[in-house]
Amino acid sequence: MVTLRTINRRQFIAAGTAVTSASAIDPLRADEPDTESAAESGGAGAAAAAPPRFVRPDQAAGTSAAVVVDPAAALAHTALIKPIDRHGEVVGAADAGAQADRVLSNLNEALAVAGSGLDQVVKLTVYAADQAALDAARASVAQAFSGPTRPAATWVVNRQPNEAIRVTMDAVAIAPLRQADRVTWLRSDQLSVESHAGHVAVMPPGQAVYIAGQVAPGETLAAAAGDTVRELYRTLEHIGLTAANVVQVKAFVQPIDRADDAHRAIAMAHGELAAVDGASEGRTAESAKVPPIVITEWQAALPRPTEIELIAINPGVRSNGGAVRYAAPPWLSESPVFSRIALARADAHLGWVYFSGLTPAAGLTPTEQVSQVFGRLRELCRETGSNFQHLVKATYYVVDPEITKALGEVRPRYYDPQRPPAASLVQVRGAAQPDTNYTLDMIGVRVE
């Protein structure tokens, strides 16, 4: 059993301070101050961050259908956390329950270096080798979150980085604000370190940037991963940001048993660009040189071995305009069902909304499955104060390729073609339930 770690209330309140920074210039924003003050709108910079609101909490499962987080909160994003000891050895052998417990313990250690813990988790993503491992992980999660914290959770079945591993996870949690004007990448000396990458990054309030998955060709997974990261950072440069603004990099790769190659390539590509823009300057002994990296399996039909997305932050940005805007660099095509970039300003919305993975009922056609999930998402949007014009990031975990076709048919019925979320579509081995072929993971913002 994993014990929840309670952070100091004063530390949590300190996370509620956002400041304006001119260190990164965003050509997509106006320079004028907001016409509506943060205090009037209830956004970042008003009062100290309020506790999260758990929507439809399920005591038996330890999770919620959605979690609404105050926009003034600093948010910790973790790397992929594995069931390994500090020497990199797998713990728990073939016991998925023991591995899930170890992952949760390691997750708590990763968050602890950021001054947070499991009791502050608002979003959890669980990856399991098969349905039996997923069921064991559910039991561990239910036990770990038996208190008042009920995070949103998404459950995915796919192959793990090596055959000995049965369960891995990544998470988002509320954390004390460390630096208002920059991302802080941190690593724990209690956990194994890969390629100098951070175990956790603390994202201050500001303009969060979600860049949709991109792909680049390569003769090997490592070559493709490195080139894709360079293309993502080119996209960042287009909106006035650099490697120093990156919060988390998530890669979907094939084959997964070469995940270490992808991890090293991503870290190396980041290092090249960070050296140019000085991303490592001013970091402390506990700092990492590379942002947290999540690598999970991608059963892609494309002749390319990886798709990579990232989250970045422009700290303290305040400007005219709406809570969320969408953009695309000129060298990438645009789509009516996904955006290349979604930019969400914490001072202009009323909260982050993390939705649990949504799955359809069994026995439906692909079109019915997709339609049912979008119907459920619409209900939760109403309940959380969000809507389909203020969704920022979608991940479609698809088991059956027919679901992909159905998504192409159904999404235009729900999305405004000028305002679809940034997105990645990932083919996986299994969804949250054994008889379903699809899980939708979504992040939005509250606007009412």
Average pLDDT per block of 10 residues along the chain, 448 residues long: 36 28 34 33 51 97 98 97 93 94 98 97 98 97 97 97 95 95 93 83 96 92 94 95 95 94 92 57 59 92 84 81 92 96 95 98 95 98 98 97 96 97 95 91 97
Question: Is 26 within the bounds of a domain?
Answer: yes
| CA 345 – CA 324 distance, rounded (Å) | 7
What is d(CA 386, CA 365) in angstroms, rounded to the nearest whole number?
A: 28
Question: Does residue 255 fall inside a structural domain?
Answer: yes
Residue 291: inside a domain: yes
In a domain, 136, yes or no: yes
Please name the residues in contact with 326: beta carbons below 8 A apart, sequence gap of 6 or more.
339, 341, 342, 343, 418, 419, 420, 422
- How many domains does the structure of the chain reveal? 1
pLDDT score, position 218: 85
Q: Judge whether 181 lies within some domain.
A: yes
Residue 423, domain member (yes or no): yes
287 Cβ contact list (under 8 Å, min separation 6): 184, 185, 186, 187, 198, 280
Q: Output the pLDDT for position 39.
A: 31
Pairing of strands 341-345, 63-69: unpaired
Q: DSSP secondary structure string, 118-158?
A: GGGEEEEEEEESSHHHHHHHHHHHHHHT-SS---EEEEEE-
Nearest of 256, 283, 276 to residue 186 by alpha carbon: 283
Q: What are phi and psi of 27, to 5 degrees?
A: -70, -10
In a domain, 3, yes or no: no
The H-or-E segment that residue 295 falls in is strand 293-297
239 falls within a domain: yes
pTM of the complete model = 0.88
Q: What is residue 109's predicted lDDT score, i.e. its pLDDT?
A: 97
- List the alpha helices (DSSP H) in 289-394: 366-384
**Structural domain for 373, as ranges:** 9-446
Whether the CB-CB separation of 246 and 269 falls below 8 Å is answered with no
The answer to whether 334 and 340 have CB atoms below 8 angstroms apart is yes
CA atoms of 291 and 248, how far apart (whole Å): 6
Place of tokens 């604000």: 177
